[in-house]
Amino acid sequence: MGSIVTPYLTLAAILFCVGLYGALTKKNGVIVLLSIELMLNAVNLNLVAFSKLGDHPALTGQIFSLFNITIAAAEAAVGIAILITIYRNKGTSDVNEMDSMKR
């Protein structure tokens, strides 16, 4: 029962799960942000694939993926800024040591 859109969805699922694993296990804050970017990219791949091969093919999927890329860029910039500030104040970029709200 393979459709032509199935490989794209499977690839996106693989990338999303790899990104999820990276975001859950990595200790470096920059790498956690990178893994989140990977997950966002997997979602974008789904959007573009459905925009061509989906039920109602239209350009709207590509527009939505462009919006998604913009949000991802803003998120990366703010995330890096927060990481730099935390590093300046606490001297670490390890996400396990950023637990001052837990103690």
Partner 1 sequence: MLNGIGDFLSSGSSWMFFIFALLAIGGAIFMISFTKVIHMVISLALTFISLGGLYVILEAEFVAFVQVLIYAGAISILMIFGIMMTKHRQGEEEEPRRPWHEGLAIVGSLALFGVIFYAIQKTKFVATGAFDAGKDNTMEIGKLLYNEHVIPFEIMSVLLTVAFIGAIIIAKREED
Q: By the criterion CB under 8 A, which residues form the site for partner 1?
A: 1-11, 13-22, 24-25, 28-31, 33-35, 37-38, 41, 44-45, 48-49, 51-57, 59-60, 62-63, 65-67, 69-78, 80-85, 87-88, 93
Q: If residue 83 lies in a helix (H) or strand (E), which one and from where to where?
A: helix 60-90
User: At its nearest, how many Å lie between partner 1 and the CB of residue 103?
Assistant: 19
Q: Measured from the CB atom, is 29 or 101 closer to partner 1?
A: 29
CB atoms within 10 A of CB 79: 17
User: At its nearest, how many Å lie between partner 1 and the CB of residue 102?
Assistant: 15
Q: Mapping DSSP to helix (H, G, I), strand (E, B) and coil, where does residue 94 land? A: strand
Q: If residue 36 lies in a helix (H) or strand (E), which one and from where to where?
A: helix 29-53
User: At its nearest, how many Å lie between partner 1 and the CB of residue 43?
Assistant: 11
End-to-end C-alpha distance for the chain, whole angstroms: 52
